[in-house]
Amino acid sequence: MDLGHPILLDGDTCADQLFDDLQKRAAALVARGTIPKIVTILVGDDPASSAYVGRKHDTCARLGVASEDTRLPYAVDQDTLLGLIHSHNVDPAVDGILVQLPLPQHLDPVAISAAIDPRKDVDGLHPVNLGKLMMGTPDIMPCTPAGIVHLLRHYRIPLAGQRVAIVGRGMLVGRPLAMLLSLKGIDAQVSLLHQACDPIGDTLRSADIVISAAGQPDLIDASMIRAGACVVGVGISYDTAGKMVSDIADDVVRVAGAVTPRHGSVGALTRAKLMENLIQIASRRASISPKDAPQ
């Protein structure tokens, strides 16, 4: 069934509008003498991770906030990395700390994430902040899930009572997104699908909104999508030639009522939400007395 041209969920344009507001908020903080600052830590020289970090620092420059780019060798030991995180935890000039994932296998990502002061957890992935989300009292939000919800609301995609199928249960997107969409005030009906859910097509075909964060090329095709459904592709992978490939196959546009582009769907919104978290944290620093600052 060919429904014509679906609504294009343009995350880049949506993020640009958010960046304009964040730039004004950052400038207001700077005028008050508080310069928001983020520190990123990248272990190893993975090209994709390096590119992601680079774009985050470009965004900082665009908004006029301070950033520090720390690169560590692949073989760095965990104690050294934990010591570096601690030094930033106690630095009153640092508002946000981000350790780029994935980490080398000899490092424990759970321990590394937990070592970050939750008040400086600009990624929103610290157990304390995820726990607040689970309890229905979110504070610092996970960036990509928050970006996805922002995108859907921007394009007035109904959420309350809608059947949302999320493919992928990772801690960066799938699990926190399921928690976020089920919060009171959003009220979606969420199914979280993964490798043990086979086949996934039956659940997807009954969904009003399909969000894929699996990182499997062309995983979702037109046969799995109900006519007129909204489809958001988050997961990406790379083919043997190094070309980026989406979870969402090309033919999905024939049946979807709204769909993200094959490339660049929510990356800019993820960075915008990262900056929103940074400015939120810096705003708190601007209003606290020195005795209340992290020790």
Residue 80, pLDDT > 60, answer yes
Q: What is the mean pLDDT of residues 236-250?
A: 83
- pLDDT at position 4 is 57
Please give the backbone phi and psi of residue 199, each rounded to the nearest 5 degrees, phi first.
-85, 155
Q: Is 156 left (phi over 0), alpha (psi -120 to 50) or beta?
A: left
Please give the backbone phi and psi of residue 190, each rounded to the nearest 5 degrees, phi first.
-105, 135
- pLDDT at position 288 is 55
Question: In this structure, what token pair is assigned to residue 147?
Answer: 């970006």
pLDDT tens digit sequence for 159-193: 999 999 999 999 999 999 999 999 999 999 999 99
Q: What is the mean pLDDT of residues 108-122?
A: 96
- pLDDT at position 268 is 95
Residue 292, pLDDT > 50, answer no
- pLDDT at position 233 is 95
Q: Is the dihedral of CA 251, 144, 97, 56 positive or negative?
A: positive
Residue 290, pLDDT > 60, answer no
- pLDDT at position 238 is 78
- pLDDT at position 176 is 97
The pLDDT mean for the chain works out to 92
Place of tokens 């301070």: 66
Residue 245: strand pairing partners: 237
Identify the band that residue 229 occupies on the pLDDT scale cut at 50, 70 and 90: very high
pLDDT tens digit sequence for 126-158: 999 999 999 999 999 999 999 999 999 999 999
**Across 82-91, 136-145, 160-169, 282-291, least confident range:** 282-291
Residue 294, pLDDT > 50, answer no
Residue 250, pLDDT > 80, answer yes
pLDDT tens digit sequence for 203-215: 999 999 999 999 8
- pLDDT at position 63 is 97
* Residue 251 exposed, middle or buried by CB count within 10 Å (0-12, 13-18, 19+): middle
Residue 295, pLDDT > 50, answer no
Long-range contacts of 86-91 (CB under 8 A, 24+ apart): 86/115, 88/39, 88/120, 89/115, 89/116, 89/117, 89/120, 89/294, 90/294, 90/295
